Structure 1
Amino acid sequence: MDVKEAVRRAKTYVTDLLAEEGLTNLGLEEIEYDESRNVWRVTVGFSRPWNTPRSALSNLTIDPALKRAYRVVDIRDDNGEVLSLRRRETINEE
Protein backbone atom coordinates (compact mmCIF):
# COMPACT_ATOMS: atom_id res chain seq x y z
CA MET A 1 0.00 0.00 0.00
CA ASP A 2 1.17 3.54 -0.53
CA VAL A 3 1.28 6.37 2.01
CA LYS A 4 -2.08 7.83 0.94
CA GLU A 5 -3.81 4.49 1.43
CA ALA A 6 -2.26 4.07 4.89
CA VAL A 7 -3.53 7.51 5.93
CA ARG A 8 -6.98 6.81 4.52
CA ARG A 9 -7.21 3.52 6.40
CA ALA A 10 -6.07 5.10 9.68
CA LYS A 11 -8.59 7.94 9.43
CA THR A 12 -11.40 5.56 8.52
CA TYR A 13 -10.53 3.24 11.40
CA VAL A 14 -10.47 6.04 13.99
CA THR A 15 -13.66 7.61 12.61
CA ASP A 16 -15.53 4.30 12.70
CA LEU A 17 -14.23 3.20 16.10
CA LEU A 18 -14.95 6.52 17.82
CA ALA A 19 -18.09 7.42 15.84
CA GLU A 20 -20.22 7.98 18.94
CA GLU A 21 -17.74 10.46 20.46
CA GLY A 22 -18.49 13.37 18.13
CA LEU A 23 -14.99 13.76 16.67
CA THR A 24 -14.20 16.95 14.78
CA ASN A 25 -11.14 18.28 12.98
CA LEU A 26 -9.68 14.84 12.23
CA GLY A 27 -6.34 15.25 10.52
CA LEU A 28 -3.00 13.66 9.79
CA GLU A 29 -0.23 14.59 12.20
CA GLU A 30 2.64 12.19 11.43
CA ILE A 31 3.38 9.11 9.40
CA GLU A 32 6.32 6.74 9.30
CA TYR A 33 7.06 3.36 7.82
CA ASP A 34 8.81 0.73 9.94
CA GLU A 35 10.74 -1.36 7.41
CA SER A 36 11.76 -3.99 9.96
CA ARG A 37 8.10 -4.79 10.74
CA ASN A 38 6.52 -3.73 7.42
CA VAL A 39 4.11 -1.53 9.34
CA TRP A 40 2.80 1.97 8.74
CA ARG A 41 2.60 4.08 11.90
CA VAL A 42 0.05 6.85 11.33
CA THR A 43 -0.65 9.52 13.95
CA VAL A 44 -3.96 11.36 13.66
CA GLY A 45 -5.27 14.21 15.75
CA PHE A 46 -8.84 15.21 16.51
CA SER A 47 -11.03 17.20 18.88
CA ARG A 48 -13.96 15.99 20.98
CA PRO A 49 -16.78 18.02 22.54
CA TRP A 50 -15.61 17.47 26.13
CA ASN A 51 -12.08 18.64 25.31
CA THR A 52 -13.30 22.10 24.34
CA PRO A 53 -12.93 24.63 27.14
CA ARG A 54 -16.18 26.34 28.00
CA SER A 55 -16.16 29.69 29.71
CA ALA A 56 -17.91 33.02 29.30
CA LEU A 57 -14.86 34.36 27.45
CA SER A 58 -14.55 31.36 25.11
CA ASN A 59 -18.22 31.69 24.21
CA LEU A 60 -17.57 35.26 23.01
CA THR A 61 -14.69 34.36 20.72
CA ILE A 62 -15.28 33.14 17.20
CA ASP A 63 -12.85 30.23 17.34
CA PRO A 64 -12.41 28.71 20.81
CA ALA A 65 -9.11 26.92 21.38
CA LEU A 66 -9.87 23.25 20.83
CA LYS A 67 -7.75 20.72 22.62
CA ARG A 68 -6.55 17.87 20.45
CA ALA A 69 -6.21 14.19 21.17
CA TYR A 70 -3.67 12.11 19.27
CA ARG A 71 -3.81 8.44 18.36
CA VAL A 72 -1.23 6.25 16.66
CA VAL A 73 -2.57 3.58 14.31
CA ASP A 74 -0.26 0.73 13.26
CA ILE A 75 -1.26 -0.83 9.94
CA ARG A 76 0.27 -3.90 8.31
CA ASP A 77 1.59 -2.95 4.87
CA ASP A 78 0.86 -6.18 3.02
CA ASN A 79 -2.84 -6.55 3.83
CA GLY A 80 -3.97 -3.27 5.45
CA GLU A 81 -4.85 -4.90 8.77
CA VAL A 82 -4.96 -2.49 11.71
CA LEU A 83 -2.70 -3.92 14.39
CA SER A 84 -3.13 -1.36 17.14
CA LEU A 85 -4.51 1.98 18.20
CA ARG A 86 -2.81 3.75 21.05
CA ARG A 87 -2.77 7.14 22.66
CA ARG A 88 0.17 9.38 21.87
CA GLU A 89 1.32 11.35 24.87
CA THR A 90 2.10 15.01 24.32
CA ILE A 91 4.49 17.28 26.15
CA ASN A 92 1.78 19.70 27.26
CA GLU A 93 -0.63 17.15 28.76
CA GLU A 94 -2.03 18.01 32.12
Structure 2
Amino acid sequence: MNVKEAVSRAKTYVAEIFDDESPSNIGLEEIRFDDRQDLWLITVGFSRSWNRPKPFTTALGGDIDLNRTYKVVHVKDDDGKVVSLTDRTVEQ
Protein backbone atom coordinates (compact mmCIF):
# COMPACT_ATOMS: atom_id res chain seq x y z
CA MET A 1 0.00 0.00 0.00
CA ASN A 2 1.39 3.42 -0.77
CA VAL A 3 1.23 6.41 1.56
CA LYS A 4 -1.67 8.09 -0.24
CA GLU A 5 -3.78 4.95 0.06
CA ALA A 6 -2.97 4.66 3.76
CA VAL A 7 -3.92 8.30 4.40
CA SER A 8 -7.16 7.95 2.45
CA ARG A 9 -8.06 4.80 4.39
CA ALA A 10 -7.35 6.52 7.73
CA LYS A 11 -9.38 9.65 6.92
CA THR A 12 -12.31 7.58 5.65
CA TYR A 13 -12.18 5.42 8.78
CA VAL A 14 -12.29 8.46 11.08
CA ALA A 15 -15.20 9.97 9.13
CA GLU A 16 -17.16 6.72 9.36
CA ILE A 17 -16.39 5.75 12.95
CA PHE A 18 -17.19 9.22 14.34
CA ASP A 19 -20.11 9.82 11.97
CA ASP A 20 -22.67 10.24 14.76
CA GLU A 21 -20.53 13.08 16.21
CA SER A 22 -20.53 15.03 12.92
CA PRO A 23 -16.75 15.36 12.49
CA SER A 24 -15.58 18.23 10.32
CA ASN A 25 -12.29 19.65 9.11
CA ILE A 26 -10.88 16.14 8.87
CA GLY A 27 -7.25 16.42 7.90
CA LEU A 28 -3.90 14.70 7.86
CA GLU A 29 -1.53 15.68 10.65
CA GLU A 30 1.31 13.13 10.73
CA ILE A 31 2.51 9.99 8.98
CA ARG A 32 4.85 7.32 10.32
CA PHE A 33 5.63 3.82 9.17
CA ASP A 34 6.51 1.12 11.69
CA ASP A 35 8.84 -1.31 9.89
CA ARG A 36 8.73 -3.89 12.67
CA GLN A 37 4.95 -4.21 12.62
CA ASP A 38 4.38 -3.29 8.96
CA LEU A 39 1.89 -0.61 10.03
CA TRP A 40 1.13 2.87 8.85
CA LEU A 41 0.53 5.21 11.81
CA ILE A 42 -1.60 8.01 10.42
CA THR A 43 -2.54 10.90 12.71
CA VAL A 44 -5.82 12.49 11.68
CA GLY A 45 -7.13 15.69 13.21
CA PHE A 46 -10.76 16.75 13.20
CA SER A 47 -13.29 18.95 14.94
CA ARG A 48 -16.48 17.83 16.62
CA SER A 49 -19.67 19.86 16.90
CA TRP A 50 -18.94 20.86 20.51
CA ASN A 51 -15.48 22.15 19.47
CA ARG A 52 -16.85 24.78 17.12
CA PRO A 53 -16.94 28.38 18.33
CA LYS A 54 -20.30 30.01 18.96
CA PRO A 55 -21.17 32.56 16.24
CA PHE A 56 -21.60 35.43 18.71
CA THR A 57 -18.23 34.69 20.31
CA THR A 58 -16.38 35.05 17.04
CA ALA A 59 -18.38 38.16 16.10
CA LEU A 60 -17.18 39.80 19.30
CA GLY A 61 -13.57 39.06 18.45
CA GLY A 62 -13.25 35.88 20.46
CA ASP A 63 -10.77 33.16 19.67
CA ILE A 64 -11.80 31.46 16.43
CA ASP A 65 -9.32 28.58 16.66
CA LEU A 66 -11.18 25.32 16.75
CA ASN A 67 -10.30 22.76 19.35
CA ARG A 68 -9.29 19.61 17.54
CA THR A 69 -9.20 15.95 18.33
CA TYR A 70 -6.20 13.93 17.15
CA LYS A 71 -6.37 10.18 16.59
CA VAL A 72 -3.73 7.76 15.33
CA VAL A 73 -5.12 5.23 12.89
CA HIS A 74 -3.04 2.04 12.59
CA VAL A 75 -3.34 0.62 9.07
CA LYS A 76 -1.80 -2.69 7.99
CA ASP A 77 0.50 -2.20 5.02
CA ASP A 78 -0.24 -5.51 3.32
CA ASP A 79 -4.04 -5.34 3.11
CA GLY A 80 -5.04 -1.83 4.24
CA LYS A 81 -7.06 -3.09 7.19
CA VAL A 82 -7.44 -0.68 10.11
CA VAL A 83 -6.33 -2.57 13.21
CA SER A 84 -6.67 0.12 15.86
CA LEU A 85 -7.46 3.72 16.64
CA THR A 86 -5.72 5.48 19.53
CA ASP A 87 -5.43 8.95 21.01
CA ARG A 88 -2.37 10.86 19.92
CA THR A 89 -0.21 11.54 22.92
CA VAL A 90 2.10 14.52 22.99
CA GLU A 91 5.51 14.01 24.51
CA GLN A 92 6.98 17.03 26.22
TM-score, L = length of structure 1: 0.85
Per-residue Cα deviation, 1:7-48 (whole angstroms, up to 9, x for no partner)? 000001010111111111100000011011100000000011
**Which amino acid is 1:85 matched to?**
L
Identity of aligned residues (%): 49
Gaps of 5+ in 2: none
Partners of 1:57 and 1:79 lie apart in 2 by: 46
The answer for the alignment partner of 1:87 in structure 2 is: 87
Partners of 1:66 and 1:82 lie apart in 2 by: 27
Gaps of 5+ in 1: none
What is the CA RMSD across the aligned residues, in angstroms?
2.2
* Equivalences, count: 91
The answer for the alignment partner of 1:38 in structure 2 is: 38
TM-score, L = length of structure 2: 0.86
